[in-house]
Amino acid sequence: MQGRLRRLLRAPPPRNLLCRVLSSSPTGCDGGGGGGGSGVAVKQVTRGNLAEALEELRVRVREAAFVGLDLEMSGVTSAPWRDTFELDRADVRYLKLRDSAERFAALQLGVCPFRWDPAKSAFVAHPHNFFIFPRKELTSDGSSHEFLCQTTSIDFLAKYQFDFNTCFCEGISYLSRAQEEEALQKLNLLHQGRTAASSTTSEKDVDMPLNSAADILFTKRMKMNFKEWRDVVVSKPMADSNLSGNIKCTLGQFQTVFFKMRPAIMLNGFSSHQLKLIQQVLRKNFRDLVYVCTFGEDDTSEKRVVYSDTDEDKILLMKDVQEDLLKNREARVKSAIGIRHVIDLLSLEKKLIVGHSCFLDIAQLYSKFVGPLPSSIKEFALSIHKIFPHIADTRHLMSANQVVQKLMMKKSKSLSSAFSLLCPLSAEKPSGLVPVRIEVEGDETMSSCFISGAKHEAGYDAYMTGCVFAQLCTYLDIKFEQLSSQDNLASNTKLQRHINSLSPSWNSGTVLDLSTGMERPDPGYMRRYPLAVHDNIVLIWGFLSKVKPKEIKDCICKVFGPGSVTSIFAIDSTAALVQFKKQESVNDFLDLKAVLERTDSAISIVHPLSTILEGGQTRAAKYETYRDICSSSESKYLFADQAEAVCTNSKNQLQENINDDPVSGVRQSILDGVGLTSVNKGDGTKSGSKNQDDADVTCQDILAILHDSRALSGRRV
């Protein structure tokens, strides 16, 4: 009660709503291309108007030539080191993207169908903005429904007046396909179990001891009341009960109602403990009174005591109730699908989906509305291809055309910059090409759910993406004039070459072909780093924070020779990837590091690598370990912490420990080879420290020894 009151008292329209309405200066929405950020009516869809919006959208999508899509998320990377880097291997990059898609929530979905109107020779756009919130709709659903927010992303959304209140209050929730299937399966199992149980005897025969006077008195009173009521019902069988279903007669304490054409009492206002006592009374004393619990419309449970005269009738009644329950639950599962209907609808219509830099968006959609993301990028590509057979990425398209490339040169490739460049107000014309006319159609009724679009609102971004796409098509020499009103642009031959090619990330330098799942290099991409050879890479972490990447490179070069390191890349302040020129250097480095750590002698102190090893927390491993660390569900802010957490948790030990044998061999031979006469050969550390003064070894020596010992241990095995 109080809650409802408070809800009513709640702050009236959110501030940003007002802001947006006010800022929608009458620039006119049908000026070819639309204004620079406002004046475009975007339909806002929340829980309240989803059903109606869906019906309308279905029609719009069916007519559309293509559909613009955009997603706003609660974050992008869960830790700085989870950013995608240019030198990431494809599988690592996918792991990073998958982590992002799984951890963060989708908060807004923008869908904007574009219909070609031959009469106006213009596109007609219908931007929709759906608020999403991963509310837990089904109680049976065990997942925790936790999501991550990246502080900067949330702050960014706030800067663009994102309405969090609407999102969290009125956002539409969803079930993915996998979740729906699971819920239905669970339901069926439950139903089977129930019917089986109820046919034998009542479910729980465990007696509750009545240990307080209040309980005993309450039980007695209830027994009397029920008896009284039952006697009345039995004594005057209401022959016309079927007809007078709504007649309520008050008998003593209870109001008689009818439930499935049987006389019944509503049990209102009892505590759960009292209800348990009532059940016990009924079970013990009344064979012909049945306790029935059903669910009303708004999820409130309704408890009744129903009179049923015979055992057969009782079974019939229970079966009836169970089936109702099943239907009710199924309906709830169906309604819990929520916003996924939009995705199902788009998938069903097989229209061309257009996004801007949309790989992450698509991965988010998959993880939220289809199911857990597959383990490899190939599987992901193939299964997304089944759902959306035609996807175009405007960012990729921009690099597909020379003219556009020239136009966009040295400009930001962000959506808004592309939009302002390619879709200017009708007055200007870029590079002589006639821009495609685009109109936005508001609702005839102009209801309150339309507000003027603004940058970084999913609905408006979807619209901008579509506009950019339409203009790009003209550069690709696609003639819309030949398009009939319900044609899917996906079948256009000139476009074929460019669709279903997505860049996994802006700095991947590759393009993923969704139809084959193969990743190929993007010829138009300008690399910042030399091409990575992942077998030559060593991951180092845990060094002191004062050590800079340059110093790491320098001191490795001191040992392995100048030019032995092709590049070094700092993951964050605690970790770096070092790429060697030669692959064998990787093992050499790892072995040398292990040796230096185990021999507690002057060698390790004066050795050039001591800069890196200082502090004793420095660890190193091959690139595979980097992948393992990225695949972990842990999320620590610093890479070194993450790596430690993963390594202590995971069963597979690290590189260092696997190499245990050769290392001990090396240690042995280091001592022998250097010519130290040790009293106690078995105890390497002891003898090493004894002869600190002699430890005048050059790096070349150590390396030579390393190679020898490697051969040696190889022979031993």
Partner 1 sequence: MAAPRAAAAAASAKQVTRQNFAEAVRELRAHLQACDYVAVAVQKTGAPTGWRRALPVDTAETAYLKAKHAAESFQPLQIAVCPFRLRNSSTSTLVAYPYNFHLFPRDELQLGMPTYSFSCQSSYLSTMANDGFDFNICIYDGISYLSRVQESLARKKIFNPCLRQLLPSSNTSVADSVFMSRIKSRIVHWRKGYADPSKKYDDCLVGSLSRLILGGELYGSRPSMSIDVCSDRQVQLVLEAVNHISDDLVSLIVPDKAGAARAVRVIFTSSKEDKNLLLMDIQKLEDEQNFKFRGFREVIDLLSFSQKPIISYNCLNDLTMMHTKFIAPLPPNMHEFMCSLKMVFSNVVDISHMWRQIGPLRKAKNIQAALSYLQKQYFVPMEIELPQQDGTSSVIKNEQNVLRITKLFAKLSYLLKIGPECQLQSGEQFTAVEEYCNIFYPSCMVEESDGVDFAIESDTKKSVSTDNIVFLWGFREKSVNELKSYLIGLHQAFSHDFEVKLLDMTCSALIFRNSDTAMQLLKEISSEDPSLNSFFSEGLKGAGFEVYRKVCRLGLWDSDLAKAFDDVSSELGASTLSECRNSQIYWNSSLMLDLKEYLEC
Residue from the set 135, 455, 553, 558 that interacts with partner 1 by CB under 8 A? 135
Q: Residue 266, interface with partner 1 (CB under 8 A)?
A: no
Q: How many CB atoms lie within 10 A of CB 236?
A: 8
Q: How far is the CB of 147 from partner 1 (least distance, A)?
A: 6
**Residue 395 structure tokens:** 């960012």
Name which of 458 and 499 has its Cβ closer to partner 1. 458
Q: Residue 494, interface with partner 1 (CB under 8 A)?
A: no
What number of CA atoms fall less than 13 Å from residue 316's CA on the CB side?
12
Q: How far is the CB of 2 from partner 1 (least distance, A)?
A: 8
Residue from the set 120, 221, 248, 273 that interacts with partner 1 by CB under 8 A? 273
In the chain, what's the furthest Cα-to-Cα distance?
A: 113
**Residue 179 structure tokens:** 């979740």
Contact status, residue 114 vs residue 123, Cβ threshold 8 Å:
yes
Name which of 50 and 352 has its Cβ closer to partner 1. 50
d(CA 252, CA 274): 19
**DSSP H helices in 452-537:** 458-475, 493-496
Residue from the set 235, 242, 246, 272 that interacts with partner 1 by CB under 8 A? 272
Q: Residue 583, interface with partner 1 (CB under 8 A)?
A: no
Q: For the sheet containing 510-513, what is the strand order?
A: 501-502, 510-513, 518-521
Name which of 411 and 637 has its Cβ closer to partner 1. 637
Q: Residue 300, interface with partner 1 (CB under 8 A)?
A: no
Which range in 8-16, 321-329, 407-415, 438-446 contacts partner 1 by CB under 8 A?
8-16
Q: How many CB atoms lie within 10 A of CB 225?
A: 17
Which range in 458-466, 505-513, 641-649, 668-676 contacts partner 1 by CB under 8 A?
641-649
Chain position carrying tokens 């209801």: 447
Contact status, residue 628 vs residue 654, Cβ threshold 8 Å:
no
Residue from the set 236, 406, 410, 651 that interacts with partner 1 by CB under 8 A? 651
Q: Residue 3, interface with partner 1 (CB under 8 A)?
A: yes
x-or-dash string of contact with partner 1, 15-54, rule CB under 8 A: xx--------------------------------------
Residue from the set 29, 69, 87, 105 that interacts with partner 1 by CB under 8 A? 105
Q: Residue 133, interface with partner 1 (CB under 8 A)?
A: yes
Closest CA to 254 of 289, 222, 302: 222
Contact status, residue 532 vs residue 87, Cβ threshold 8 Å:
yes
Q: How far is the CB of 129 from partner 1 (least distance, A)?
A: 17
Q: How far is the CB of 387 from partner 1 (least distance, A)?
A: 25
Q: How far is the CB of 162 from partner 1 (least distance, A)?
A: 8
Which range in 166-174, 350-358, 362-370, 409-417 contacts partner 1 by CB under 8 A?
166-174
Name which of 78 and 564 has its Cβ closer to partner 1. 78
Which range in 13-21, 61-69, 307-315, 579-587 contacts partner 1 by CB under 8 A?
13-21
How does DSSP assign 372-440, residue by residue?
SPPSSHHHHHHHHHHH-S-EEEHHHHHTT-HHHHHHHTTS--SHHHHHHHHS--TT--GGGPPPPPEEE
d(CA 697, CA 694): 8
Closest CA to 305 of 241, 239, 233, 246: 233
Q: Residue 6, interface with partner 1 (CB under 8 A)?
A: yes
x-or-dash string of contact with partner 1, 190-229, rule CB under 8 A: --------------x-x-----------------------
Name which of 136 and 686 has its Cβ closer to partner 1. 136
Which residues are 290's β-sheet partners?
Answer: 306
Name which of 151 and 698 has its Cβ closer to partner 1. 151
**Residue 129 structure tokens:** 């903005």
Spatial neighbors of 156 by CB under 8 A, at least 6 apart, are 456
Q: Residue 10, interface with partner 1 (CB under 8 A)?
A: yes
Which range in 142-150, 247-255, 256-264, 670-678 contacts partner 1 by CB under 8 A?
142-150
Which range in 3-11, 308-316, 347-355, 359-367 contacts partner 1 by CB under 8 A?
3-11
| E strands in 316-437 | 352-355, 391-393
Which residues are 427's β-sheet partners?
Answer: none
d(CA 516, CA 588): 39
Count of residues near partner 1 by CB under 8 A: 51
Q: Residue 78, interface with partner 1 (CB under 8 A)?
A: yes
x-or-dash string of contact with partner 1, 597-636, rule CB under 8 A: ------------------------------------xxx-
Residue from the set 169, 275, 326, 544 that interacts with partner 1 by CB under 8 A? 169
Pairing of strands 66-73, 352-355: parallel
Which residues are 622's β-sheet partners?
Answer: 538
Q: Residue 146, interface with partner 1 (CB under 8 A)?
A: yes
How does DSSP assign 63-92, residue by residue?
H-SEEEEEEEES-S-SSGGGS--TT--HHH
Name which of 209 and 562 has its Cβ closer to partner 1. 209
Which H or E run contains 550? helix 549-560
Spatial neighbors of 467 by CB under 8 A, at least 6 apart, are 33, 34, 68, 125, 419, 422, 423, 438
Q: Which residues lie near partner 1 (CB under 8 A)?
A: 3, 6-7, 9-11, 14-16, 74-75, 78-80, 105, 133-136, 142, 144-152, 154-155, 158, 163-165, 167-169, 204, 206, 271-273, 633-635, 637, 645, 648-649, 651
